[in-house]
Structure 1
Amino acid sequence: MNITQIRNATVLLEIGDHRILVDPMLSSPSSLAGFRLFRGQRRKNPLTALPDDVNQLIESATAVLITHEHPDHLDKSGIEWIKSRGLKVWCSSVDAPNLRRKGLDARIITEDSCDLSVEVVPAIHGHGMIGWLMGPVAGYYLAHPNEPTVYITGDTVLTDTVKSAIERLRPQVIIAPAGTANFGIGKDLMFSEAELIELAKMASGQVVFNHLEAIDHCLMTRLRLRQIMDDAGSGQQVFIPEDGERLEFDCSSDAPPVELRTSSQSTPGIQKWLTAKFAGT
C-alpha cells in the first residue's frame, strides 16, 4: 500500500488495484475564502500550491473517496476534475444524495466497494454547537487482501466512537488530520494537541498525519508536530509527509481478524447550507 500526500487532506491511496484520490481540494492558492472568523487572522485559501507534478500524481486515480463535503476536502476545482475523468465517487449514505445533485457519480461505499472491506466510522467535527454546525462527517476503515489495513479518520475530534474503532479494528495504518483547526474562537474543530498524542499512543500500527499548513484555520506546523510527537515518545511510528511525498507500507504482519459493523449517521439539515455559505462555495 502506498500513500502520496498531495496537499491538506488530499492524498492518493494505492491499495490493491485501486488508486483512490481522497478529498480532492485542487484550487490554486488564494482562490477560496478564509475560514478564520476575524478579519485580521483570516487569509485566502489554499495557502500553498499543489506539488509541481500533481497532474502526474492524480492522473492514475481510478476512484475518489470523500470523507465530507467541506470545501477544503472537495472544492469546485475538485468537482470539475472528477467530472472530466468520469470517476466514481465513494462516500457515505449521508453525502451521496448531495454529491449526485452536483453531477457526480456518487456511490455509497458500503454498497459498492468492489474488493475492499469497508466500515464507515461516524465522526464529530468539533465540539458543542460548532460541532453540530459542521454537520455529520465520517471516517473509513478499508481492508484489502494482502495489503495493510487503513483507517482514514476524516476531520474529527477524539470521540469515544473513534477510540472504540481504533481499539476494535486495530488498523495497521491511520491517516489523521493534525492541523488542530480553529475558527479563532472556541475549541478546536479536530484533534487537539493532547488528542493527537493520545491517538498516536493508542495506535497499534503507524500513523500518517496530514491536513497541515495549507488552510488558514489550521495552525499546527509540521515542525511543531514533530517536536510534540518526539517529546511524547511516539516519533518512530508517526509520519508527517511533505506535499508530494510518497510513503510505502507493507504487510509486515497479518491484519487482525475483525468483524465490521454498520453505523448510522444523522442526516444533516441547514448545517450544510450554512458552512457552504460561510466558505463561499
Structure 2
Amino acid sequence: MKIHHLRNATALLTLGEHRLLIDPMLARQGAFTGFKFFGGGRRPNPLVPLPPDTFSWLEEATGVLVTHAHPDHLDTAGLRWIRKHGLPVWTSREEAPNLRKRGLAVRELDDGALGMRVERIPVRHGRGLLARLLGRVSGYYLAHPDEPSVFLTSDAVLTEDLLEAVERLQPDVIIAPAGAANFGVGGDILFSVDELVTLVRRAPGRVVLNHLEALDHCPTTREGLRERMKAEGLLEKVLIPRDGEELHFTRQERASWPTAPGPGSTQERERASLASHTEASAP
C-alpha cells in the first residue's frame, strides 16, 4: 500500500491495482475564501500550493474517492479535473445524488466494491448544531486482500462509535485529520490534539495525520504535533507527511509495528526507524 500525500486531505492511495485519488482539493493557493469566520486569522485558502509535480502524479489515478463534498475535500478545480479525465467517483449512497448532479460518474462504495472488503463508518464532523449543519460525513475501512487494511476517518471528532470501529476492525493504518479545525465559534470540528492522543493510543498500527497547515481554520502545526506525540511517547507510532511525501506499507510489517505505552508511562522503547516506511518525493 502506498499513500502519496499531496495537501490537506488530498492523497493518492494505492491498494493493489487501484490508485484512488482521495478528496481532491486542487485549487491554486489563495483561490477561495477563508473559513475562519470569527476570532481573527482569516486568510484566503488554500494557504499553500500543491507540490510542483502534482498533476503528473495524478495521471496515475484510476478512480476517485470522495468522503464528503465540502470544498476542502472536493473543490471546483477538483471537479473540473475529474470531469476532464472521466474517472469513476466512489462515494456513499447518501452523497451519490449530490455528486451525480455535479456531472460525475458516481459509484456507491459498498462492501465488495473495488474487489475488497469495504465498510462505511458514519462519523461526526463537530458537535451539536454545528455538526448537524456540516452534514453527513463518511469514514471508510478498506481491506484489499493483498494489502494492509486502512481506515480513512475523514473529517471527524472523537466519539465512542469511532473508537468502537477501530477496536472491532483493527485497521493496520488509520488516516486521520489533525488540524483541529475551528471556525472561531462552536468548538473544534476535527479531532483536537488531546483526542488524537487517545486515537493513537487505541490504534493497533500506524496513524497517518493529515489536514495540516493548508487551511486558515486549522491551527495545529506539524512541529507542534510532533512535540506533543513525543511528550506522550507516541511519536514512533505516527506519520506526519510533508506535502508531496510518499508513505509505503506492507502486510509483513504489521507484526513489528510498535505498541504505544499506556497512559502515564515513561518507558522508552526501541523501535525501528520510520525512515523504512517513508520515501520523500518533495523537496
Same fold per TM (> 0.5)?
A: yes
User: What does residue 267 of structure 1 align with?
Assistant: none
Residues 39 and 184 of structure 2 are in contact (CA less than 8 Å); yes or no, is this contact kept in structure 1? Answer: no
Aligned-residue offset at 1:39: 7.5
Partner letter of residue 147 of structure 1?
Answer: E
User: What does residue 98 of structure 1 align with?
Assistant: 98
Partner letter of residue 165 of structure 1?
Answer: A
Would you say 1:23 and 2:23 are equivalent positions? Answer: yes
The alpha-carbon distance between structure 1 residues 127 and 253, as it changes in their structure 2 partners (threshold 3 A), is: same
After TM superposition, the runs of 4+ consecutive aligned structure 1 residues lying more than 4 A away are none
Gaps of 5+ in 1: 256-281
Distance across 2 between alignment mates of 1:78 and 1:97: 18
User: What does residue 190 of structure 1 align with?
Assistant: 190
Superposed CA deviations along residues 234-266 of structure 1, whole A, max 9, x for unmatched, are 1111000000000000012679xxxxxxxxxxx
Alignment RMSD: 1.3
User: What does residue 55 of structure 2 align with?
Assistant: 55
User: What does residue 156 of structure 1 align with?
Assistant: 156
Q: How does 1:258-277 map to 2 (within 5 A)?
A: none
TM-score normalised to structure 2 length: 0.88
User: What does residue 208 of structure 1 align with?
Assistant: 208
What is the identity percentage for the equivalent residue pairs of Structure 1 and Structure 2?
Answer: 51
Would you say 1:74 and 2:74 are equivalent positions? Answer: yes
Secondary structure at 2:100's aligned position in 1?
A: helix
Aligned-residue offset at 1:38: 2.8
Partner letter of residue 54 of structure 2?
Answer: V
Aligned-residue offset at 1:176: 0.3
User: What does residue 138 of structure 2 align with?
Assistant: 138
The alpha-carbon distance between structure 1 residues 119 and 22, as it changes in their structure 2 partners (threshold 3 A), is: same
Superposed CA deviations along residues 158-197 of structure 1, whole A, max 9, x for unmatched, are 1111111000000000000000000012310010111000
Paired residues in the alignment total 255
User: What does residue 147 of structure 1 align with?
Assistant: 147
User: What does residue 36 of structure 2 align with?
Assistant: 36
Secondary structure at 2:12's aligned position in 1?
A: strand
Distance across 2 between alignment mates of 1:58 and 1:132: 33
TM-score normalised to structure 1 length: 0.89
User: What does residue 83 of structure 1 align with?
Assistant: 83
The alpha-carbon distance between structure 1 residues 253 and 241, as it changes in their structure 2 partners (threshold 3 A), is: closer
Partner letter of residue 108 of structure 1?
Answer: E
Secondary structure at 1:114's aligned position in 2?
A: helix
Distance across 2 between alignment mates of 1:190 and 1:39: 18
User: What does residue 64 of structure 2 align with?
Assistant: 64
Superposed CA deviations along residues 14-60 of structure 1, whole A, max 9, x for unmatched, are 01000000000000011111101138421110000000110121110
Partner letter of residue 128 of structure 1?
Answer: G
User: What does residue 217 of structure 1 align with?
Assistant: 217
Superposed CA deviations along residues 193-224 of structure 1, whole A, max 9, x for unmatched, are 11000000000000000000000001100000
Distance across 1 between alignment mates of 2:144 and 2:242: 26
Aligned-residue offset at 1:96: 0.2
Superposed CA deviations along residues 87-124 of structure 1, whole A, max 9, x for unmatched, are 00000011000000000011110067131210000001
User: What does residue 8 of structure 1 align with?
Assistant: 8
Partner letter of residue 18 of structure 1?
Answer: H
Gaps of 5+ in 2: 256-283
Partner letter of residue 97 of structure 1?
Answer: P
Distance across 2 between alignment mates of 1:147 and 1:232: 30
